[in-house]
Amino acid sequence: MDETKELEERFAQLRKDLDEGNLHEFRDEFLEMHIYEQGQFYQSLKDDQRLLVYSYLSPKELADMFDVIEEDNEYMKDYLAEMRPSYAAEMLSEMYTDNAVDLLNTLSKKQIAKYLSLMDAEDAAEIKELLHYEDETAGSIMTTEYVSIVANQTVRSAMYVLKNEAKAAETIYYIYVVDQEGRLVGVISLRDLIVSDDDAMISDIMSERVISVHVGDDQEDVAQTFRDYDFLALPVTDYDDHLLGIVTVDDIIDVIDEEAASDYSGLAGVNVEEISENPIKAAGKRLPWLITLLFLGMATASLISHYEVLVSEASILAVFISLITGTAGNAGTQSLAVAVRRLAMNDDKSNTFFATVIGEVLTGVVTGAITGLTIFAIVAVWKGNPILGFVIGMAMMCAITVANLAGSLIPMLMDKLGFDPAVASGPFITTLSDLTSVLIYFNIASMFMNYFIGN
């Protein structure tokens, strides 16, 4: 049977058990499912059915499921609000700390204070500590549920610590070694710990070369470190190398997804995650960019109007306006995408700046020359006028070169100024390319007016 169909049938049976009050049957079937499937089922329920779930499942059982539900789900606040406050607070305390913090960050300060006041003091203190870190930093995505040991203990005693703390830890693939003051001094893998002699000292078998990130590092830089080293987890330290927490690969996958969505949103000039929003709200978010681009487009229209006499004398020029502006806009968008990607991939920003700009200009010249020659041949044959073909071809080459330059230079400058380079969106570059292309086109055409006037 198809897996999707089988899962739908299981969901249907679970809903039936809920509605009919079959407590034991529901719990047995629900808890057998993978927590991801539990989350999918939970989010498919109606309000009254979810209320039954809260009476059928313990806060701990619900917390395991909430750990896998995306915190940016627009209904998360509603889910918490429909629970009894004490039940919700206990569930939050049972979640991994970093996930609970992500969820709480979607709430108001008053709501956060309410839930923290209902939690166990120790759990609340851990969550408060992470809430203070700036958003989109290593501190904001790290978890404090990890296993650490000290260097001057044996493997036997380290295994005892691991067995006692493993259940609460988010991952145990790496065990971090600290000194008596809590400073990070080494790391040992679970495999090395298992295969080592019980009486061996941790200081003798640990690796002293530890790759770590600072608590204030940008989450995108942390993701880059994961990509470079293929880690499953990274330790997070303060300025004095005290171990504060760890960032796990599942959180980095969320970061990569978030950063990708942000880049796509910037390149498109629209929030790509607004799929589930109602049309009015979605329109409200798109309009600012559209209105801004409308005024920039008016500048292009005004420029064309300035050359109205030229167009009236050689009406054939109007035929090729959209061809030149459209091609240049496409070239600019391609250059923009390459520049943003190179900025994200390369740590040497000064080298990236010059290499990318020069590279894109040369690319623009090559692609512009080939495109220009192509359109020159087409227009020369089509209209029987080589001079007109030359004007169109030359304008095309220059417009593409300038568009490539703008597409690489603008995001670079934005990055230098501390802004997200992806905000130099595709629609903005396209509209700017329209303006420069029209200026280039009509200035070149004005030099050769006598050769195709009246066409």
Half-sphere exposure of 175 (CA within 13 A, CB side): 25
Residues above pLDDT 90, as percent of the chain: 42
pLDDT at 6: 86
pLDDT at 454: 53
Judge whether 148-256 and 279-452 match in fold. Answer: no
pLDDT at 57: 93
Strand order in the sheet with 243-248: 213-214, 233-237, 243-248
pLDDT in tens, 89-102: 999 999 988 889 88
Determine which of 51-65, 126-140, 272-286, 424-438 has the lowest per-residue pLDDT on average: 272-286
Beta-carbon count within 10 A of 228 CB: 10
pLDDT score of 1 more than 60: no
For 236, the 3-state DSSP assignment is strand
Long-range contacts of 314-320 (CB under 8 A, 24+ apart): 314/445, 314/449, 314/452, 314/453, 314/454, 314/455, 315/455, 316/383, 316/388, 316/452, 316/455, 317/441, 317/442, 317/445, 320/379, 320/392, 320/441
pLDDT in tens, 300-309: 888 888 888 8
CATH homologous superfamily for 279-452?
SLC41 divalent cation transporters, integral membrane domain (1.10.357.20)
pLDDT in tens, 148-170: 999 999 999 999 999 999 988 88
Domain boundaries, the chain: 3-135, 148-256, 279-452
pLDDT score of 266 more than 80: no
Q: In which band, very low, low, confident or very high, does the pLDDT at 353 lie, cut at 50, 70 and 90?
A: low
Question: Is residue 103 within 8 Å of residue 95, measured between CB atoms?
Answer: yes
Determine which of 179-188, 213-222, 405-414 has the lowest per-residue pLDDT on average: 405-414
Confidence (pTM): 0.63
Q: In which band, very low, low, confident or very high, does the pLDDT at 73 lie, cut at 50, 70 and 90?
A: low
pLDDT score of 187 more than 70: yes
Task: Name 451's Cβ contacts closer than 8 Å, sequence gap at least 6.
Answer: 385, 387, 388
pLDDT score of 419 more than 80: no
CATH of 3-135, one of 3.30.1490.20, 1.10.10.10, 1.25.60.10, 3.40.50.1820: 1.25.60.10
pLDDT at 399: 93
What is the chain's mean pLDDT, rounded? 85
Determine which of 267-276, 364-373, 417-426 has the lowest per-residue pLDDT on average: 267-276
Burial code of 420-434, b = ≥16 C-beta within 10 A, e = fewer? bbbbbbbbbbbbbbb
The arrangement of secondary structure in 148-256, i.e. its CATH architecture, is Roll (3.10)
pLDDT at 364: 86
